[in-house]
Amino acid sequence: MSLESIASIANVSMVDPAFGSMAAAQQQAGFSQMVSKGLGEVNQKLISTQTDLQQLAVGDVQNLHQVMINLEEARMSFQLLMQVRNRVLEAYQDVMKMSV
C-alpha cells in the first residue's frame, strides 16, 4: 500500500458528506462534553465552598485563609461561567437575527 492511496482516502473523507456529518457530530460531542465538564467543575467548587462555609459557621475551620481563597476561586469561576453564558447567548441571538 502506497502513501498515494492513503492520501486519496483522506481526500474522500473530507469531500464525502457522510464523513463530514460524522466529523461534525464528533465535534458537537466534544463541545458538549467540554461544556458539561466545565459546569461540573464549577458546581464542584461551589459545593466545596458551601461545605467550607458551613464548617466556618460551626467553628470547625483550621485555616481561615484557605477558606477565603477557595471562596474567591469559586466566585470567580462562577462569574466566568456567567460571562461565557452571556457571550454564547449574544452570539446565538446574532445568528438568529441574520437573514438567509
Residue 29 pLDDT: 75
Spell out the per-residue pLDDT of the chain, length 100, in tens.
455 555 555 554 455 555 556 666 666 678 889 989 999 999 999 999 999 999 999 998 888 999 999 999 999 999 999 999 999 999 999 999 998 7
pLDDT of amino acid 41: 94
The Cα 40–Cα 43 span in angstroms is: 5
Residue 20, pLDDT score: 56
One DSSP character per residue, 45-94 reads HHHHHHHHHHHHHHT--S-HHHHHHHHHHHHHHHHHHHHHHHHHHHHHHH
Q: Report the pLDDT value the prediction gives residue 7, as an integer from 0 to 100.
A: 54
